[in-house]
Amino acid sequence: MKPRRSLSRRAPQAGVMLLEALIAILIFSLGVLALVGLQTVSIRQSSEAKYRADALMYANEIIGQMWVDNRNFANLSANYATGGAAYNAWFARLQNNNSLPGAAANPPTITTVVAGAPADPSTMVTVRVSWKAPNEPPADPAHSVTVVAQIK
């Protein structure tokens, strides 16, 4: 009888568990990177929403001042249009609060136009508040909010 020779063979699935572990780590890492990216976008969107809310607050503030002041067209055009005394005081407050970055480089504009019938005149006021978020490329246009109000 011939002696049996034992040939040592490797199991056909040797190393498969290591490969499965590496693939699991890769999938987990991609998930973590996706969550980090999601958090970054969330923070950026939250900042943009805050700037929009602040811009709307400032626009509504100046429109509110127009409502409680003498509401005839001559007064609104002289005091509240871009460059007027009330406009300059409002713009100085806007700059001093530092809540809208880049507002000094992109000053807000206020235009007034006579609207309505001659018997019942009113003033159509357009307030545009602009800002530029920090870390945006200089070539990007400024963000802006425009509010239109009719003051009688």
Amino acid identity at 53 = A
The tokens 């067209």 sit on which residue? 73
Q: For the chain, what are the domain ranges?
A: 16-151
Query: What is the C-alpha to C-alpha distance for residues 112 and 78, in angstroms, rounded to an integer?
Result: 10
Q: How confident is the model at residue 5, as a pLDDT?
A: 65
Say how far apart CA 86 and CA 90 lie, in whole Å: 6
DSSP letter assigned to residue 101: T
Token pair recorded at residue 90: 């409002």
The CA radius of gyration of the chain, in Å to the nearest whole number, is 32
Q: Which of 55, 71, 68 is nearest to 129 (CA)?
A: 55
Residue 152: how many CB atoms within 10 A of its CB? 10
Cβ atoms 128, 58 nearer than 8 A: no
Dig out the tokens for 134 from the structure: 């920090």
Low-confidence spans in the chain with pLDDT less than 50: none
- Any idea how long the chain is? 152
Q: Tell me the H-state helices in 6-151.
A: 16-68, 73-79, 85-97
Q: What pLDDT is attached to residue 45?
A: 92
pLDDT value at residue 9:
64
Tokens representing residue 23 in the block: 């693939």
Write down the pLDDT at residue 66: 92
Predicted structure pTM score: 0.74
Residue 101 burial (C-beta neighbours within 10 Å; 0-12, 13-18, 19+): middle
